[in-house]
Structure 1
Amino acid sequence: MDEVVIVPWQELAADTLDNLLQEFVTRDGTDYGEQEISTATKVEQVRRQLTKGQSLLVFDSATETVTVMTREQFDQHQRHPG
């Protein structure tokens, strides 16, 4: 069974967080709608979501990756893992 653990993003070095967010927003399959948005803008949008507590930085032990989940996605995963 995979485990998803919240990563305390506030404790990461600024450049590490920037790199993680940039990797996240440039992943294949990340959909931001029809309008083209710059990578820097996408990173700032996700950073704002983290700051407001709307999204969480999480580590997935099954895939050994770090990703961003909305609070709702995280709660759903906790109720129905796997």
Structure 2
Amino acid sequence: MRLIKKGIALGNQGKYNEAIKCFNEAIRLDPKEVDAWNNKGVALKALGRSDEAGLAFPTMRTSSRTKPRSPISQPRPP
């Protein structure tokens, strides 16, 4: 979970490549970690890598765990 929180913090700072590294490590440790997959997809999309992001989101949806949406995926107020 610490890797995901670190990745979220990095993503919120616009450091998407570093965030993706954290999410990848979290996924390596637990391939069914919904928050890691979701936030990886968000970070990839922010980098304009929509095709790769599209691969992360279906994996997140088919995970056997259900968790609340993570902060990086929440819409930001204007």
TM exceeding 0.5: no
The structure richer in strand per residue is: 1
TM-score, length basis structure 1 = 0.31
Greater Rg by CA: 1
TM-score, length basis structure 2 = 0.32
Q: Which structure exhibits the higher relative contact order, with contacts defined as CA atoms closer than 8 Å and separated by 6 or more residues?
A: 1
The structure richer in helix per residue is: 2
